[in-house]
């Protein structure tokens, strides 16, 4: 919508709302809904992985046997059996997680909003990876922090870079150790240990956001930082990538004293996550369903990733580099320094191919010669075709 | 939970989070979950009114026919057919509401949070009724406003009290014109007109929060302020009281330029309201179901209200007064000035009766000799019994 069309009076907005602007990328990407566009832009999981029939049976069972509870207001903390299931799931490698450490959220995005609400003040420092998850920047920005980018390399965040100078005044450090959005990088176990050790003495929490952790192609997950320092890590999880995002069920695992504040903030924010969707999730997973279901998602995404990597190998000219993800949904591409991926997007969309430019994933100084490719919803033949077009566009600029 | 039990490090919190404290009332009311307690405290609708079988059929139909869409990420604005239904529903009395003016929220509570996010800055003035809805105070307080109480009488907000002095610097005026929580008052049509006129020249929006509007016992709803000044009123609605609260589906109707900002704020807050629950609501209501369903709720609540009023008449000593609601879920009771309803609650709970003291519903100076009674979930015989015990406790204090 063009704001100049608007006739109603514009009331005085909050400072945070005045900073919100329409995203140029979003406008360009609107065309990607056309069926002829090969879109590597979406962050959507593949609907082929949604266990719809199982959810249908669960919904039916719940509305038959416990409609009054499933349709009534319920506790802000979330559905207790689901919290217990999550606590048990995370009580591994010697860590003991109590159900009172678990808060159910309306998707993982709400977890980010609540953390911002409870921890971030205007101009307080928030440490983020370089680049970092755009949705986290959007959430935290509502609370007007000052971002500090933590240096990274091809393995992710560099723990040694967390010097007292860099971290002074920080309210939190935000990281996605598994198959990060946008880079697809996985943080090695030694760095996890270093970061967990850092968290033990830091005067602020390390936020371990982990929506993609279950999606490692080899089925060999690395230990979470939560398991290494359960009293000092705030862990965010989600059922969006292992069941379905449309239910909007995520969770926060944190020390009880932070949960206590987060619950109050959540009460003011949406009272509670829908009782019905929480019960559907629990009903679907309670008998170990994820243990057989998640491997089928891993397998699909691994094959899709292989198709993307093969196509990049085939069509990208020299001077273009990318990583080889061990899991997740994204590949990160570095173009020659002179190519601005925002301009490239305009040309690509004209040729019915789409991706997300890398710039918006940087909190401060952006590397505009980067882009994110998502490969999970496009059939392999289309991946080949789409990357071929992209490769030709890039080649013409070198 | 007692915070002194906590062992984990307490990290530095945001200013807004530091102000959050455990509610004494909440602690006392925890005991009301015991089955022997007659509780007039809850604000829950009666589960007898939930159309569970209809929702079961809707959930089944949706997960059979359109699982990929119902379980996938979806637009932040909400499910378009539902937005169209709402726009049409409110296009009455000459007002034309467009679907682009409708944003679906995760319950009406989220509408309050988003409005606070977009309009309220620290120390900016927020105008509220005296008393006002506690949940609105909780939402807005996250954005640290300065509250200004607008004088009221037994009919609700007094429009003439909105002088330039009182309203200077305000970012919004928040009101519940229909069967207000906590007082049960309904704003007369002349005052609605006066307030709508006020809104037309005010430099800030009037927020018309209307969760209870459909619940007028006579089935003769008063026109909304939205219909009187569609470009200057922000209207909040909810399916919680006419279908079921556990789905968490509410909505905001506002000028497009405010919706534009609210959508961006919502994207940062929870991306979107669950696709599945939005579709269930639409599936249940699309064929006119509410037109036959809502009258059954009205009838039930009218009878429950009559039982409460009869019991108050029977058992309350002289010096106690209350209103006679024409709809909704609450009666507001004024005690003799020397009785503090907070202390009364402790004694009442010891006798297995509960209510909500009036104090927390006041933004600033509170009238502590007030209390809110909810009558919709307690059977009439128990209403009689509970009010009898309350009456005896009060009589002993006069």
Is position B143 within any domain?
yes
Is position A59 within any domain?
no
Q: How high is the pLDDT of residue B123? A: 95
Mark which of A231, A264, A288 sits at the end of a domain: A288
Q: Is residue A190 pLDDT above 50, yes or no?
A: yes
φ, ψ (nearest 5 deg) of residue B61: -60, -45
What chain A residue is nearest to B248 in terms of C-alpha separation?
A274
User: Is the Cβ of A169 closer than 8 Å to some Cβ of chain B?
Assistant: no
Is residue B176 domain-shared with residue B221, that is, in the same domain? Answer: yes
Q: How high is the pLDDT of residue A278? A: 98
Distance of CA B31 to the CA centre of its chain: 23
Residues of chain A contacting B141 with CB distance shorter than 8 Å: 268
User: Is the Cβ of A135 closer than 8 Å to some Cβ of chain B?
Assistant: yes
Is residue A284 domain-shared with residue A325, that is, in the same domain? Answer: no
CATH of the domain at B391: 3.90.1150.10
**Beta carbons of B117 and A17 less than 8 Å apart:** yes
Q: How high is the pLDDT of residue A9? A: 60
Is position A60 within any domain?
no
Q: In the structure, what pLDDT confidence band is assigned to residue B349 with cuts at 50, 70 and 90?
A: very high
Q: In the structure, what pLDDT confidence band is assigned to residue B203 with cuts at 50, 70 and 90?
A: very high
CA-atom Rg of chain B in angstroms: 21
Mark which of A239, A268, A288 sits at the end of a domain: A288
Is residue A296 domain-shared with residue A283, that is, in the same domain? Answer: no
User: Is the Cβ of A219 closer than 8 Å to some Cβ of chain B?
Assistant: no
Is residue A162 domain-shared with residue A275, that is, in the same domain? Answer: yes
| Residue A78, Ramachandran bin (φ over 0: left; ψ between -120 and 50: alpha; else beta) | left
Summarised one tens digit per residue, pLDDT across range B141-195 is 999 999 999 999 999 999 999 999 999 999 999 999 999 999 999 999 999 999 9
Is residue B239 domain-shared with residue B375, that is, in the same domain? Answer: no
**Beta carbons of B138 and A268 less than 8 Å apart:** yes
Interface test with B, best of A3, A57, A276 (most B CBs within 10 A): A276
CATH of the domain at B246: 3.40.640.10
User: Is the Cβ of B4 closer than 8 Å to some Cβ of chain A?
Assistant: no
Instruction: Give CA–CA dist A101/B182, Å, rounded.
Output: 33
Q: How high is the pLDDT of residue B1? A: 38
Is ipTM > 0.90 here? yes
Is position B230 within any domain?
yes
**Beta carbons of A109 and B203 less than 8 Å apart:** no
**Beta carbons of B268 and A138 less than 8 Å apart:** yes
Is position B346 within any domain?
yes
Mark which of A240, A262, A288 sits at the end of a domain: A288
Is residue B113 domain-shared with residue B170, that is, in the same domain? Answer: yes
Is position B55 within any domain?
no
Q: Mean pLDDT for chain B?
A: 94
Domains: count for chain B: 2
| Residue A361, Ramachandran bin (φ over 0: left; ψ between -120 and 50: alpha; else beta) | alpha
Q: Is residue B274 pLDDT above 50, yes or no?
A: yes
Is position A23 within any domain?
yes
Is residue A92 domain-shared with residue A232, that is, in the same domain? Answer: yes
Q: How would you class B109 by CB atoms within 10 Å of its CB: exposed for 0-12, middle for 13-18, buried for 19 or more?
A: buried
Q: What part of B 48-87 touches A (C-beta under 8 Å)?
A: 50, 52-53, 55-56, 59-60, 63-64, 67-74
Is residue B127 domain-shared with residue B46, that is, in the same domain? Answer: no
Summarised one tens digit per residue, pLDDT across range B210-269 is 999 999 999 999 999 999 999 999 999 999 999 999 999 999 999 999 999 999 999 999
What chain A residue is nearest to B203 in terms of C-alpha separation?
A11
Is residue A311 domain-shared with residue A280, that is, in the same domain? Answer: no
Q: Is residue B2 pLDDT above 70, yes or no?
A: no
**Beta carbons of B14 and A268 less than 8 Å apart:** no
**Beta carbons of B274 and A248 less than 8 Å apart:** yes
Q: Is residue B362 pLDDT above 60, yes or no?
A: yes
**Beta carbons of B59 and A56 less than 8 Å apart:** yes
Is position A66 within any domain?
no
Is residue A179 domain-shared with residue A274, that is, in the same domain? Answer: yes
- For residue A218, give its domain range: 73-288
Is residue B261 domain-shared with residue B226, that is, in the same domain? Answer: yes
Instruction: Give CA–CA dist A114/A108, Å, rounded.
Output: 10
Is residue A271 domain-shared with residue A316, that is, in the same domain? Answer: no
Instruction: Give CA–CA dist B238/B217, Å, rounded.
Output: 18
């Amino acid at each position: 919508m063009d704001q100049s069309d608007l006739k109603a009076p514009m009331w005085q907005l909050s400072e945070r709302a005045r900073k919100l602007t329409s995203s140029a990328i979003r406008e360009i990407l609107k065309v990607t809904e056309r069926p002829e566009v090969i879109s590597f832009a979406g962050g959507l999981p593949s609907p082929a992985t949604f266990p719809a029939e199982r959810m249908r049976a669960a919904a039916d069972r719940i509305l038959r046997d416990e409609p009054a509870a499933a349709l009534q207001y319920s506790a802000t903390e979330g559905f207790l059996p689901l919290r217990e299931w999550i606590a048990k799931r995370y009580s591994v490698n010697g860590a003991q997680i109590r159900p009172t450490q678990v808060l159910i959220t309306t998707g993982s995005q709400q977890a980010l909003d609540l953390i911002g609400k409870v921890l971030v003040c205007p101009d307080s420092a928030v440490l983020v990876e370089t680049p970092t998850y755009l949705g986290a920047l959007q959430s935290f920005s509502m609370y007007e922090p000052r971002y500090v980018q933590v240096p990274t390399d091809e393995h992710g965040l560099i723990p040694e870079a967390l010097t007292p100078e860099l971290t002074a005044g920080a309210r939190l450090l935000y990281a996605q150790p598994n198959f990060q959005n946008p880079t697809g990088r996985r943080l090695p176990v030694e760095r996890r240990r270093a970061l967990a050790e850092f968290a033990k003495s830091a005067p602020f929490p390390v936020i371990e956001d982990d929506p993609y952790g279950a999606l490692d192609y080899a089925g060999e997950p690395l230990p979470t930082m939560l398991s290494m320092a359960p009293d000092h890590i705030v862990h965010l999880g989600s059922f969006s990538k292992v069941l379905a995002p449309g239910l909007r069920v995520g969770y926060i695992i944190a020390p009880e004293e932070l949960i206590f504040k987060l619950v109050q903030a959540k009460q003011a924010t949406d009272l509670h996550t829908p009782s019905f969707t929480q019960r559907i999730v629990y009903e679907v997973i309670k008998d170990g369903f994820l243990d057989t279901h998640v491997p089928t998602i891993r397998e699909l995404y691994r094959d899709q990733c292989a198709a993307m990597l093969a196509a990049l190998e085939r069509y990208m000219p020299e001077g273009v580099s990318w990583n080889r993800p061990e899991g997740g949904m994204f590949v990160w591409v570095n173009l020659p320094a002179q190519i601005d991926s925002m301009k490239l997007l305009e040309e690509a969309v004209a040729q019915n191919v789409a991706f997300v430019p890398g710039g918006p994933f940087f909190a401060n100084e952006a590397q505009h010669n980067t882009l994110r490719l998502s490969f999970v919803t496009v059939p392999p033949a289309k991946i080949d075709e789409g990357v071929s077009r992209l490769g030709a566009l890039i080649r013409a600029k070198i």
